[in-house]
Structure formats: C-alpha cells, structure tokens
Amino acid sequence: MHRYGRQIPLRFPQKRLATYDFGKSVYEKQIKPYMTSNYVSYILFPSGVDAISISFVKGMMEEIIEEYGIDYVTESMVFSGLQTHLVTKIRNAIEY
C-alpha cells in the first residue's frame, strides 16, 4: 500500500452521472493529468451526486485499470463525497 495520497477533486454540474463517453471524458480531463501509481488517489466527487450509471464507471475507470491494474484500483483508489451505496456501486462495477 502506498503511504502518500493525492486528492483529485471532480467538477461537474450533473447530479446523475451517466454514459460511457461522459465517464471517459471525466477521466481524460479531470483524473488522468493527476494520476500516478506513487500515491493513493482520493477521487473527490462534488456533493449532491445521487446516481451513477455503470456505463459512466466503465468509461471513467477503463484506462486506469488498463494502465495501473485492478490491484492498484482496488487497493489505492478511494472514492469520497458519495453516499455509501454509490461507492459500493462503483466498486462492484470495477470488480465485475
């Protein structure tokens, strides 16, 4: 496990996050520039997000899994600012 963490705050006006393409865009513009395997990545969602589609998660996480591996994602990525059931949904989509 990595010792240091890097916060990656996400910004978008939507309260419901959907579509593979939107997830991919969030990754490309807001996550990728700050990702490194040297740190735990704290992905900070804005308050008020009340729904996340599996296709959004797949778009957001696909390249991260390809580049860093599933072990990095499951052990060194923390999703914050969401209701517990949405974090569980993200984790389940990643592990599926």
Distance (Å, whole) CA 84 – CA 82: 6
Q: How far apart are CA 75 and CA 12, in angstroms?
A: 26
Write the CB contacts of 82 (distance below 8 Å, at least 6 apart in sequence): 45, 49, 52, 90
Going by C-beta distance under 8 Å and a sequence separation of 6 or more, which residues neighbour residue 81?
44, 45, 46, 47, 49
pLDDT for 30 equals 97
Looking at residue 96, what is its pLDDT? 73
Residues of the chain under the 50 pLDDT cut: 1-2
Instruction: Using the structure block, give the residue that is written with the tokens 């990656």.
Output: 8
The predicted structure's pLDDT at residue 3: 56
pLDDT digits (tens, 9 = 90+) for 56-67: 999 999 999 999
